[in-house]
């Protein structure tokens, strides 16, 4: 007698059959590679909590960029870490600061590469907050002015995309207006729309030397318990003119990738953040997990959730694995 149950295994019967019916793929074009740039020369220092990720000075960055481009990476996101930090993060909007120099250098050598500038003040302020402080509070509207100056300076240096990550209210609207006024109406904004106050950023803050000296970021970044707040933030950013929407941390909050995918039509970007990277690296170094399979599974998970793009420190390794 014929069985009445479904035979799902028919489509899983061989590697070629599985290839035939695979729904999602990770391609090099989907990946954005983060880079940390510092002042000085001949610097290539590994970040202790992020094996395989380095601080580069401009000279060593030039070498690194050749490798990055040769392995098929098509876009990078830059984080400048200046030596001089002050209360108002003045190196963020100085046309000759390290981030601007790095953007100019990369665009001159690799004009086709997409260079994304992270627009925030926390790498540039001595107190480590993403805006300016008054009476210990990060003040919104005053910080916006400096963030607009930062974005315009980054665009002037040649950034292809501006990625504001500071979580001030109105940041997309003000930065859009500032870019337009300065003649950069063609430069898209990739907004950190859904950004939680997360401990997963710990290793990044070591790399960017941007740990807040007092308090935390909970007054401007979102509560990890809140999904609806994330939808409201994303809706504001879309209304204000965001061209891309980022979810961060991506792996911990893949539900938000799916929710944004179902509610908005902008490209969705999952940020596979530093702490998520460090956990995989630490477990792999102990021989506890299969690094390649874990990373590829995570990345295809982002794609399945609806991410168009993934910012990931694993990008160079993925290039190697996709080729093999
Ligand atoms: C800047 C910024 C941070 C990250 C990206 N941009 C740190 C933070 O908000 O504290 C974190 C990225 C990562 O953890 O990989 N504000």
Q: Do residues 125 and 208 make contact, with C-beta atoms less than 8 angstroms apart?
A: no
Pocket test for ligand 1, best of 201, 206, 253, 270 (most atoms within 8 A of CB): 201
Q: 3-state DSSP call for residue 49? A: coil
How many angstroms is it from 186 CA to the middle of ligand 1?
A: 26
Rounded to whole angstroms, the Cα distance separating 11 from 34 reads 38
Q: Do residues 193 and 246 make contact, with C-beta atoms less than 8 angstroms apart?
A: yes
CA distances from 3 to 6, 7, 9, 313 (A): 8, 9, 14, 49
Active site residue 195: yes
Q: Do residues 164 and 191 make contact, with C-beta atoms less than 8 angstroms apart?
A: yes
pTM confidence score: 0.97
List, as one string, the DSSP characters of 206-272.
Answer: HHHT---SSS-STTTSBPTT-SHHHHHHHHHHHHHT-SEEEEESTTTTHHHHHHHHHH--SPEEEEE
Pocket test for ligand 1, best of 52, 121, 208, 311 (most atoms within 8 A of CB): 208
Atom of ligand 1 nearest to the CA of 210: 10
How many angstroms is it from 123 CA to the middle of ligand 1?
A: 9
Nearest CA to ligand 1 atom 6: 165
Backbone angles phi, psi at 150, to 5 degrees: -65, -50
* Structural domains of the chain sorted by starting position, each given as residue range(s) with its CATH number in brackets: 25-323 (3.20.20.70)
Pocket test for ligand 1, best of 130, 147, 150, 165 (most atoms within 8 A of CB): 165
Rounded to whole angstroms, the Cα distance separating 256 from 69 reads 31
Rounded to whole angstroms, the Cα distance separating 273 from 52 reads 14
Instruction: Please pick, among 85, 107, 218, 248, the residue that the annotation labels catalytic.
Output: 248
* Cα within 13 Å of Cα(61), Cβ side: 28
For each of the chain's 324 residues, which pLDDT tens digit applies?
788 999 999 999 999 999 999 999 999 999 999 999 999 999 999 999 999 999 999 999 999 999 999 999 999 999 999 999 999 999 999 999 999 999 999 999 999 999 999 999 999 999 999 999 999 899 999 999 999 999 999 999 999 999 999 999 999 999 999 999 999 999 999 999 999 999 999 999 988 888 898 889 999 999 999 999 999 999 999 999 999 999 999 999 999 999 999 999 999 999 999 999 999 999 999 999 999 999 999 999 999 999 999 999 999 999 999 987
Active site residue 316: no
């Amino acid at each position: 007698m014929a069985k009445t149950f479904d035979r799902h295994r028919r489509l899983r019967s061989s590697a070629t059959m599985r290839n035939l019916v695979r729904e999602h793929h990770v391609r090099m074009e989907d990946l954005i590679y983060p880079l940390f740039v510092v002042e000085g020369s001949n610097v290539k220092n590994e970040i202790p909590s992020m094996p395989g990720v380095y601080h580069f000075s401009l000279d060593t960055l030039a070498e690194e960029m050749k490798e990055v481009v040769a392995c098929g990476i098509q876009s990078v996101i830059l984080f400048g870490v200046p030596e001089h930090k002050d209360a108002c993060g003045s190196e963020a909007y100085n046309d000759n600061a390290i981030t601007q120099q790095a953007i100019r250098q990369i665009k001159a050598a690799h004009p086709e590469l997409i260079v994304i500038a992270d627009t925030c003040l926390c790498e540039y302020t001595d107190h480590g907050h993403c805006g300016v402080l008054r009476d210990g509070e990060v003040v919104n509207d005053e910080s916006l002015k400096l963030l607009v100056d930062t974005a315009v300076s980054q665009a002037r240096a040649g950034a292809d995309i501006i990625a504001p990550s500071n979580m001030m209210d109105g940041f997309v609207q003000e930065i859009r207006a500032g870019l337009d006024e300065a003649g950069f109406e063609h430069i898209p904004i990739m907004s950190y729309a859904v950004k939680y106050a997360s401990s997963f950023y710990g290793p990044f803050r070591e790399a960017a030397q941007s740990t807040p000296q007092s308090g935390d970021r909970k007054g401007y970044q979102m509560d990890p318990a809140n999904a609806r707040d994330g939808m409201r933030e994303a809706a504001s950013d879309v209304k204000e003119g965001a061209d891309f929407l980022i979810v961060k941390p991506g792996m911990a909050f893949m539900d938000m990738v799916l929710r944004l995918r179902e509610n908005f039509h902008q490209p969705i970007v999952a940020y596979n953040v530093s702490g998520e990277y460090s956990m995989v690296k630490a477990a792999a170094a102990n021989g506890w997990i299969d690094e390649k399979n874990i990373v590829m599974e995570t990345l295809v998970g982002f794609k399945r959730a609806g991410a168009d793009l993934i910012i990931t420190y694993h990008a160079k390794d993925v290039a190697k694995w996709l080729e093999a």
